[in-house]
Amino acid sequence: MPDTREKGWSRVYVPEIHDIHPGMRRELDAMIDVLPQAALPAAALLVVPDWMGRSPIAADRAFCAAVSTLPGEKVLHGFTHSLGPDFWNWLFYGHDNRSEFARLGRDEAAGRLATGLRAFLEAFGIAPRWFCAPRWQQSAAATEALKEAGIGAWMTTGALVSAGGRRAALPALNFDEGERKLRNAILHRLREGRIARLLSAGRPFRVALHPADVGDPVAWGQVKRLFARLAAEGWRPVGADAALEALGSGQVAA
Protein backbone atom coordinates (compact mmCIF):
# COMPACT_ATOMS: atom_id res chain seq x y z
CA MET A 1 0.00 0.00 0.00
CA PRO A 2 1.34 3.51 -0.76
CA ASP A 3 2.49 5.60 2.20
CA THR A 4 -0.69 7.55 2.77
CA ARG A 5 0.91 9.94 5.23
CA GLU A 6 3.46 11.15 2.69
CA LYS A 7 0.77 11.58 0.03
CA GLY A 8 -1.47 13.61 2.34
CA TRP A 9 -4.00 10.81 2.49
CA SER A 10 -3.98 10.00 6.15
CA ARG A 11 -7.20 10.65 8.08
CA VAL A 12 -9.58 10.09 5.19
CA TYR A 13 -12.59 7.80 5.04
CA VAL A 14 -15.07 6.60 2.43
CA PRO A 15 -18.72 6.57 3.62
CA GLU A 16 -21.00 3.80 2.35
CA ILE A 17 -24.78 3.40 2.71
CA HIS A 18 -25.78 -0.22 2.08
CA ASP A 19 -28.94 -2.14 1.18
CA ILE A 20 -30.89 0.70 -0.42
CA HIS A 21 -34.32 -0.59 -1.44
CA PRO A 22 -38.00 0.39 -1.19
CA GLY A 23 -39.38 -0.05 2.29
CA MET A 24 -36.35 1.34 4.12
CA ARG A 25 -36.94 5.04 3.50
CA ARG A 26 -36.97 5.86 7.22
CA GLU A 27 -33.63 4.11 7.72
CA LEU A 28 -32.20 5.73 4.58
CA ASP A 29 -33.16 9.17 5.85
CA ALA A 30 -31.56 8.40 9.22
CA MET A 31 -28.32 7.24 7.60
CA ILE A 32 -28.19 10.33 5.41
CA ASP A 33 -28.87 12.58 8.40
CA VAL A 34 -26.11 11.02 10.50
CA LEU A 35 -23.46 11.78 7.88
CA PRO A 36 -21.52 15.03 8.22
CA GLN A 37 -22.63 17.47 5.53
CA ALA A 38 -19.36 17.09 3.63
CA ALA A 39 -19.69 13.31 3.57
CA LEU A 40 -22.91 12.97 1.57
CA PRO A 41 -21.41 13.85 -1.85
CA ALA A 42 -18.65 11.31 -1.15
CA ALA A 43 -20.98 8.53 -0.04
CA ALA A 44 -21.29 5.32 -2.03
CA LEU A 45 -25.00 4.44 -2.24
CA LEU A 46 -25.35 0.67 -2.54
CA VAL A 47 -28.60 -0.25 -4.28
CA VAL A 48 -30.22 -3.70 -4.21
CA PRO A 49 -32.42 -3.99 -7.34
CA ASP A 50 -34.84 -6.57 -5.88
CA TRP A 51 -34.39 -6.89 -2.11
CA MET A 52 -34.97 -10.49 -1.00
CA GLY A 53 -36.61 -11.15 -4.37
CA ARG A 54 -39.78 -9.35 -3.33
CA SER A 55 -39.04 -5.62 -3.55
CA PRO A 56 -38.15 -4.57 -7.12
CA ILE A 57 -36.82 -1.05 -6.89
CA ALA A 58 -37.89 -0.04 -10.40
CA ALA A 59 -41.53 -0.60 -9.43
CA ASP A 60 -41.38 2.26 -6.91
CA ARG A 61 -40.80 5.29 -9.11
CA ALA A 62 -41.06 7.78 -6.25
CA PHE A 63 -38.32 5.96 -4.34
CA CYS A 64 -36.14 5.77 -7.46
CA ALA A 65 -36.57 9.50 -7.99
CA ALA A 66 -35.64 10.23 -4.38
CA VAL A 67 -32.48 8.12 -4.59
CA SER A 68 -31.58 9.65 -7.96
CA THR A 69 -31.53 13.13 -6.44
CA LEU A 70 -29.00 12.14 -3.80
CA PRO A 71 -25.38 13.00 -4.50
CA GLY A 72 -22.86 10.19 -4.33
CA GLU A 73 -22.05 7.19 -6.49
CA LYS A 74 -24.88 4.71 -7.02
CA VAL A 75 -23.41 1.21 -6.70
CA LEU A 76 -24.94 -2.10 -7.78
CA HIS A 77 -25.21 -4.19 -4.60
CA GLY A 78 -25.98 -7.68 -5.87
CA PHE A 79 -29.42 -8.49 -7.28
CA THR A 80 -31.57 -9.79 -4.41
CA HIS A 81 -28.89 -9.84 -1.66
CA SER A 82 -30.11 -13.33 -0.74
CA LEU A 83 -29.86 -16.99 -1.70
CA GLY A 84 -32.84 -17.90 0.47
CA PRO A 85 -33.18 -19.82 3.76
CA ASP A 86 -30.09 -21.53 5.12
CA PHE A 87 -29.67 -23.30 8.46
CA TRP A 88 -26.17 -22.08 9.29
CA ASN A 89 -26.96 -18.47 8.45
CA TRP A 90 -30.10 -18.71 10.56
CA LEU A 91 -28.07 -20.16 13.44
CA PHE A 92 -25.31 -17.54 13.40
CA TYR A 93 -27.11 -14.47 12.06
CA GLY A 94 -30.81 -15.12 12.60
CA HIS A 95 -31.76 -14.75 8.95
CA ASP A 96 -31.34 -16.10 5.41
CA ASN A 97 -28.12 -16.56 3.43
CA ARG A 98 -27.22 -13.03 2.39
CA SER A 99 -23.87 -13.89 0.78
CA GLU A 100 -25.48 -13.82 -2.66
CA PHE A 101 -22.31 -13.90 -4.79
CA ALA A 102 -19.94 -15.77 -2.47
CA ARG A 103 -20.01 -19.16 -4.19
CA LEU A 104 -21.65 -18.59 -7.54
CA GLY A 105 -20.36 -20.21 -10.71
CA ARG A 106 -19.73 -18.21 -13.86
CA ASP A 107 -23.15 -18.69 -15.48
CA GLU A 108 -25.22 -17.98 -12.37
CA ALA A 109 -23.09 -14.96 -11.46
CA ALA A 110 -23.42 -13.60 -14.99
CA GLY A 111 -27.18 -14.18 -14.94
CA ARG A 112 -27.73 -12.40 -11.64
CA LEU A 113 -25.50 -9.54 -12.75
CA ALA A 114 -27.31 -9.14 -16.04
CA THR A 115 -30.70 -9.06 -14.34
CA GLY A 116 -29.47 -6.64 -11.71
CA LEU A 117 -27.91 -4.37 -14.31
CA ARG A 118 -31.16 -4.20 -16.28
CA ALA A 119 -33.14 -3.37 -13.15
CA PHE A 120 -30.61 -0.72 -12.11
CA LEU A 121 -30.74 0.89 -15.55
CA GLU A 122 -34.54 0.88 -15.49
CA ALA A 123 -34.57 2.47 -12.04
CA PHE A 124 -32.02 5.23 -12.60
CA GLY A 125 -31.47 5.56 -16.33
CA ILE A 126 -27.74 4.94 -15.96
CA ALA A 127 -25.53 1.87 -15.76
CA PRO A 128 -23.54 1.39 -12.54
CA ARG A 129 -19.77 1.75 -12.67
CA TRP A 130 -19.20 0.11 -9.28
CA PHE A 131 -20.30 -3.18 -7.73
CA CYS A 132 -20.31 -4.45 -4.17
CA ALA A 133 -21.18 -8.06 -3.49
CA PRO A 134 -23.50 -8.60 -0.52
CA ARG A 135 -21.36 -9.11 2.60
CA TRP A 136 -18.42 -8.14 0.35
CA GLN A 137 -18.11 -11.80 -0.65
CA GLN A 138 -17.69 -12.71 -4.31
CA SER A 139 -16.37 -15.85 -5.94
CA ALA A 140 -13.57 -15.85 -8.50
CA ALA A 141 -16.19 -16.67 -11.12
CA ALA A 142 -18.23 -13.66 -10.05
CA THR A 143 -15.16 -11.45 -10.43
CA GLU A 144 -14.70 -12.66 -14.00
CA ALA A 145 -18.40 -12.05 -14.66
CA LEU A 146 -18.02 -8.47 -13.41
CA LYS A 147 -15.21 -7.84 -15.86
CA GLU A 148 -17.20 -9.31 -18.72
CA ALA A 149 -20.20 -7.16 -17.79
CA GLY A 150 -18.09 -4.01 -18.02
CA ILE A 151 -18.14 -3.11 -14.32
CA GLY A 152 -15.21 -0.79 -13.70
CA ALA A 153 -14.51 -1.43 -10.03
CA TRP A 154 -15.76 -3.27 -6.97
CA MET A 155 -15.55 -3.29 -3.20
CA THR A 156 -14.26 -6.10 -1.03
CA THR A 157 -14.17 -6.19 2.74
CA GLY A 158 -10.59 -4.94 2.75
CA ALA A 159 -10.12 -2.97 -0.45
CA LEU A 160 -11.36 -1.10 -3.48
CA VAL A 161 -10.36 -2.89 -6.69
CA SER A 162 -10.51 -1.82 -10.33
CA ALA A 163 -11.16 -4.15 -13.25
CA GLY A 164 -7.71 -3.21 -14.51
CA GLY A 165 -6.07 -4.52 -11.35
CA ARG A 166 -5.48 -1.45 -9.20
CA ARG A 167 -6.11 -2.09 -5.52
CA ALA A 168 -6.45 0.37 -2.66
CA ALA A 169 -6.40 -1.14 0.81
CA LEU A 170 -9.29 0.43 2.73
CA PRO A 171 -10.88 -1.89 5.30
CA ALA A 172 -14.63 -1.61 5.83
CA LEU A 173 -15.91 -0.86 9.33
CA ASN A 174 -19.24 -2.67 9.62
CA PHE A 175 -21.91 -2.30 12.33
CA ASP A 176 -24.46 -4.88 11.16
CA GLU A 177 -23.71 -8.43 12.32
CA GLY A 178 -27.14 -10.00 12.12
CA GLU A 179 -29.97 -10.46 14.59
CA ARG A 180 -28.55 -12.74 17.31
CA LYS A 181 -28.50 -10.65 20.51
CA LEU A 182 -25.75 -12.51 22.36
CA ARG A 183 -23.46 -12.48 19.33
CA ASN A 184 -24.15 -8.80 18.79
CA ALA A 185 -23.42 -7.96 22.43
CA ILE A 186 -19.97 -9.51 22.05
CA LEU A 187 -19.33 -7.84 18.71
CA HIS A 188 -20.42 -4.44 20.03
CA ARG A 189 -17.57 -4.61 22.54
CA LEU A 190 -15.05 -5.87 20.00
CA ARG A 191 -16.02 -3.10 17.60
CA GLU A 192 -15.11 -0.42 20.15
CA GLY A 193 -11.56 -1.73 20.10
CA ARG A 194 -11.47 -1.83 16.32
CA ILE A 195 -12.71 1.74 16.06
CA ALA A 196 -10.02 2.87 18.48
CA ARG A 197 -7.33 1.11 16.45
CA LEU A 198 -8.51 2.54 13.14
CA LEU A 199 -8.59 6.08 14.46
CA SER A 200 -5.24 5.72 16.17
CA ALA A 201 -3.58 4.42 13.00
CA GLY A 202 -4.86 7.33 10.94
CA ARG A 203 -4.98 5.26 7.77
CA PRO A 204 -7.87 5.38 5.29
CA PHE A 205 -10.86 3.16 5.91
CA ARG A 206 -14.53 2.86 4.94
CA VAL A 207 -17.57 3.42 7.15
CA ALA A 208 -20.33 1.02 6.09
CA LEU A 209 -23.84 1.81 7.30
CA HIS A 210 -26.78 -0.61 7.03
CA PRO A 211 -30.51 -0.15 7.69
CA ALA A 212 -30.31 -2.54 10.65
CA ASP A 213 -27.87 -0.18 12.39
CA VAL A 214 -30.61 2.40 12.83
CA GLY A 215 -32.70 0.01 14.92
CA ASP A 216 -29.80 -1.19 17.10
CA PRO A 217 -29.34 1.43 19.86
CA VAL A 218 -25.81 0.30 20.73
CA ALA A 219 -24.59 0.16 17.14
CA TRP A 220 -26.28 3.44 16.26
CA GLY A 221 -24.66 5.08 19.26
CA GLN A 222 -21.30 3.85 18.00
CA VAL A 223 -22.05 5.31 14.57
CA LYS A 224 -22.93 8.71 16.01
CA ARG A 225 -19.87 8.83 18.25
CA LEU A 226 -17.64 7.75 15.38
CA PHE A 227 -18.78 10.56 13.08
CA ALA A 228 -18.47 13.09 15.90
CA ARG A 229 -14.92 11.98 16.53
CA LEU A 230 -14.03 11.92 12.83
CA ALA A 231 -15.16 15.53 12.56
CA ALA A 232 -13.41 16.60 15.75
CA GLU A 233 -10.12 14.99 14.72
CA GLY A 234 -10.12 16.41 11.21
CA TRP A 235 -10.86 13.30 9.18
CA ARG A 236 -11.93 14.03 5.60
CA PRO A 237 -14.63 12.12 3.66
CA VAL A 238 -13.68 11.12 0.10
CA GLY A 239 -15.41 9.18 -2.65
CA ALA A 240 -14.48 5.68 -3.76
CA ASP A 241 -13.17 6.89 -7.13
CA ALA A 242 -10.85 9.41 -5.51
CA ALA A 243 -9.61 6.88 -2.97
CA LEU A 244 -8.88 4.25 -5.61
CA GLU A 245 -7.11 6.76 -7.83
CA ALA A 246 -4.95 8.18 -5.04
CA LEU A 247 -4.23 5.02 -3.08
CA GLY A 248 -4.46 2.26 -5.67
CA SER A 249 -1.25 0.56 -6.65
CA GLY A 250 0.07 -2.05 -9.02
CA GLN A 251 -1.40 -4.62 -11.32
CA VAL A 252 -2.57 -7.07 -8.71
CA ALA A 253 -4.82 -10.07 -8.50
CA ALA A 254 -8.45 -9.00 -8.09
At 252 the pLDDT is 39
At 161 the pLDDT is 98
pLDDT per residue rounded down to tens, the chain (254 residues): 455 544 568 999 999 999 999 989 999 999 999 999 999 999 999 999 999 788 899 999 999 999 999 999 999 999 987 665 665 555 556 455 667 888 889 999 999 999 999 999 999 999 999 999 998 989 999 999 999 999 999 999 999 999 999 999 999 999 977 665 666 677 788 899 999 999 999 999 999 999 999 999 999 999 999 999 999 999 999 999 999 999 998 543 33
Please report whether residue 76 resides in a domain.
yes
Contact 142, 133 (CB under 8 A): yes
Please report whether residue 156 resides in a domain.
yes
Please report whether residue 1 resides in a domain.
no
Listed in sequence order, the residues at least 6 apart from 11 whose beta carbon sits closer than 8 Å to its beta carbon are: 202, 233, 234, 235, 236
Answer positive or negative: Cα dihedral of 245, 79, 139, 179.
positive
At 177 the pLDDT is 74
Please report whether residue 7 resides in a domain.
no
User: Which CATH number fits the domain that encloses residue 16?
Assistant: 3.20.20.370
Please report whether residue 184 resides in a domain.
yes
The count of domains in the chain is 1
At 5 the pLDDT is 47
Which residues partner with 205 through β-bridges? Answer: 13
| Domain that residue 195 falls in | 12-247
Contact 227, 209 (CB under 8 A): no
At 92 the pLDDT is 59
Which residues partner with 14 through β-bridges? Answer: 206
At 96 the pLDDT is 56
Please report whether residue 92 resides in a domain.
yes
Please report whether residue 254 resides in a domain.
no
Please report whether residue 2 resides in a domain.
no
Quick check: pTM over 0.85?
A: yes
What is the C-alpha to C-alpha distance for residues 25 and 211, in angstroms, rounded to an integer? Answer: 9
